[in-house]
């Protein structure tokens, strides 16, 4: 009993720990899952195709459009206002530049959206409307992760795809409003740690941070099933699993009974477009792995 008391005294309680550190600790397991995948290693080797990268960027456009729509709605709320940094962090405008580069002037009609991307988008809108205080979890895991790992991924894609050094097609990875990433991340964490929330809200924020990473991991697991020998031997169906949609809200409801803080599983599976699958898996899992511990 005495030993347990000493341990409790030397380790900060979950409630007294800074929110940023608590999120890092809560998401440690999903980071390990992402880090130990062969797809992350493949991406680091530069095994990425041009067509696959286009699809990845399209997914990011849909995700950030949804996230920033919801952020704009609650930007003046005490639950989010301290971490509202649109000039420094928002990615939608940069991704619009990238969409024009990859898909041409009529990109809004051409960009695809995978079922798992739709699932992510749906979760963001669901949280934004029902529990907006949880958006801080999504903002933190996405923005600071991309700010941390963006330059690494940018260099890999630039080299693998033979893209110009001036950065065309990779605006997403550039943060011109952040001259010093380390200093800015310190500011962001301090602002986030200053947010006032009840113990119950704090618990749900931590759960939502895990859900944010699980949305990426679940995409990996969904597509991994297509890589079995049985799937590879099947003929592709006539209707592809990717669909085109406007950047507005996904209308499909969440599965009934989905637990709070857990990412809903996609309700339909994409067709086995294996070249795209390999690239998308590699990129998204690499993003999770490279980002998390740089937060």
- C-alpha span between 120 and 107 (Å, rounded): 21
Binding positions for heme b: 24, 31, 140, 189
Domains of the chain: 19-226+242-247+261-292 (1.20.910.10)
Residue 91, CA distances (Å) to 65, 86, 156 in order:
8, 9, 20
- Look at residue 262 and tell me whether its pLDDT is greater than 70: no
Q: What are phi and psi of 257, to 5 degrees?
A: 80, 10
Cβ atoms 285, 216 nearer than 8 A: yes
Confidence grade of residue 269 (pLDDT, cut at 50, 70, 90): very low
- Mean pLDDT calculated for residue range 25-41: 73
Instruction: Report the pLDDT value the prediction gives residue 221, as an integer from 0 to 100.
Output: 63
Task: Please report which confidence band the pLDDT of residue 38 belongs to, taking 50, 70 and 90 as the band edges.
Answer: low
Q: What is the pLDDT of residue 230?
A: 46
**pTM, whole model, 2 decimals?**
0.76
pLDDT for 89 beyond 70:
yes
Contact 170, 157 (CB under 8 A): yes
Annotated binding site: 24, 31, 140, 189
| Burial group, residue 247, by CB count within 10 angstroms (0-12, 13-18, 19+) | middle
Please compute the mean of the pLDDT values over residues 216-226 and round it to a whole number.
59
What pLDDT does 130 receive? 97
Q: What is the dihedral of CA 251, 256, 262, 263, to 10 degrees?
A: -30
How large is the average pLDDT for residues 257-284? 44
Mean pLDDT (the chain, rounded): 77
Is 166 exposed, middle or buried, given 0-12, 13-18 or 19+ CB atoms closer than 10 A?
exposed
Token digits of residue 33: 């899952």
What mean pLDDT do residues 49-60 have?
84
Q: How many CB atoms lie within 10 A of CB 2?
A: 6
């Amino acid at each position: 009993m005495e030993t347990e008391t000493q341990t409790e005294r030397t380790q900060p309680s979950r409630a007294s720990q800074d929110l940023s550190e608590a999120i890092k600790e809560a998401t440690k397991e999903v980071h390990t899952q992402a880090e130990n995948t062969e797809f992350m290693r493949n991406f680091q080797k530069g095994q990425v195709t041009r067509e696959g990268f286009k699809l990845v960027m399209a997914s990011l456009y849909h995700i950030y459009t949804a996230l920033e729509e919801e952020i704009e709605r609650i930007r003046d709320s005490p639950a989010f206002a301290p971490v509202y940094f649109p000039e420094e962090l928002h990615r939608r405008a940069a991704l619009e530049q990238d969409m024009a580069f990859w898909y041409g002037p009529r990109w809004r009609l051409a960009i695809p959206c995978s079922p798992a991307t739709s699932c992510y988008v749906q979760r963001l809108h669901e949280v934004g409307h029902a529990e907006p205080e949880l958006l801080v979890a999504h903002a933190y895991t996405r923005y600071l992760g991309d700010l941390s790992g963006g330059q690494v991924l940018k260099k890999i894609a630039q080299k693998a795809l033979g893209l110009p050094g001036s950065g065309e097609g990779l605006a997403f990875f550039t943060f011109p409003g952040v001259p010093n990433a380390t200093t800015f991340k310190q500011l962001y964490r301090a602002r986030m740690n200053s947010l006032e929330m009840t113990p119950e809200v704090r618990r749900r924020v931590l759960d939502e941070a895990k859900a944010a990473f699980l949305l990426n991991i679940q995409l990996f697991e969904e597509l991994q099933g297509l890589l079995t020998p049985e799937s590879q031997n099947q003929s592709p169906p006539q209707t592809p699993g990717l669909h085109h949609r406007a950047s507005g809200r996904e209308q499909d409801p969440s599965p009934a009974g989905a637990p709070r803080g857990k990412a809903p599983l996609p309700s339909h599976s994409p067709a086995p477009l294996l070249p795209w699958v390999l690239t998308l898996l590699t990129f998204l899992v690499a993003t999770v792995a490279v980002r998390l511990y740089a937060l």
